[in-house]
Structure 1
């Protein structure tokens, strides 16, 4: 169990609204550049948000993140 879960806050709630949006976008067949364009931010901003999401949900690949999102109703 992660620190977020043991503290009484679910991981899904620990993600910011933007992180949830980025996580949902990862499930699409698009590049980080395309996600950035859709969200009106830079590619580096998306990269930072993706890294934060991965850290918070305990994954290290896009496929794992997408699977986690689907299992938690974020996709």
Structure 2
């Protein structure tokens, strides 16, 4: 059995990049994507892309689900 076969599968929290964690935490605030982009010094489209990536990785499809997931996993 190889080392790869003995490791547990990654959960959504472990696969998120540092920036995705920041964006996920920002989603919990009552702000728009434009406001998040301004805070992070990136474009709104960059934030949209990062949000889509977060949703895909953690298996959610709405902002409220993402925020609930973040709270449950100690990200917020």
TM-score in terms of structure 2 length: 0.87
1:27 aligned to 2:28?
yes
For this pair of structures, how many residues does the alignment match? 70
Within a 5 Å distance, the mapping from 1:7-18 to structure 2 comes to 7-18=8-19
Q: For structure 2, list consecutive stretches of 5 or more residues without a partner in the other structure.
A: 1-6
Q: 1:37 aligns to what?
A: 38
Structure 1 position 7, deviation (Å): 4.8
Q: For structure 1, list consecutive stretches of 5 or more residues without a partner in the other structure.
A: 1-5
Within a 5 Å distance, the mapping from 1:51-62 to structure 2 comes to 51-62=52-63
CA distance in 2, matches of 1:54, 1:13: 14
Q: 1:47 aligns to what?
A: 48
